[in-house]
Amino acid sequence: MNDLINRQDFLRAFEEMCSCTDYGWDERDFRSLIKRFPSAEPEIKPISYADCSNAMLKMWIDNVLTDGEYNKIMDKLNAKHRGE
């Protein structure tokens, strides 16, 4: 079940339901309040080298990857990490 909301949709629905001036708020107060809620689209964060190498090692240990596949991918990952 996904219970994330889209801020813009929430803003429109709330503005239709009531007037912010009824509560002594101006539009800036309301927009400031809504920005404290998390976005419906989470921030995309890059995967760290450590996380990626640990995942590779786990897949190799669990026999998801062969020795050759593991070494080939890790060589590329290490080269990228070193900036080659």
Tell me, yes or no, whether 20 and 36 share the same domain: yes
Tell me, yes or no, whether 2 and 28 share the same domain: yes
pLDDT per position as a tens digit, 50-74: 999 999 999 999 999 999 999 999 9
What does the pLDDT read at residue 1?
Answer: 45
| Whether the predicted model's global pTM rises above the 0.75 cut | no
- Beta carbons within 10 angstroms of residue 30's beta carbon: 16
Could you report how far apart the first and last alpha carbons of the chain are, in Å? 43
Q: What is the DSSP letter of 26?
A: -
pLDDT per position as a tens digit, 7-37: 777 777 676 666 555 666 666 776 777 677 6
Tell me, yes or no, whether 39 and 76 share the same domain: no
Q: Which residue has the higher pLDDT, 19 or 78?
A: 78
Tell me, yes or no, whether 3 and 34 share the same domain: yes
Q: In angstroms, rounded to a whole number, what is the distance separating the alpha carbons of residues 16 and 10? A: 10
Tell me, yes or no, whether 55 and 37 share the same domain: no
Tell me, yes or no, whether 63 and 32 share the same domain: no
Q: In angstroms, rounded to a whole number, what is the distance separating the alpha carbons of residues 19 and 2? A: 29
Domain with 64 in it:
49-82
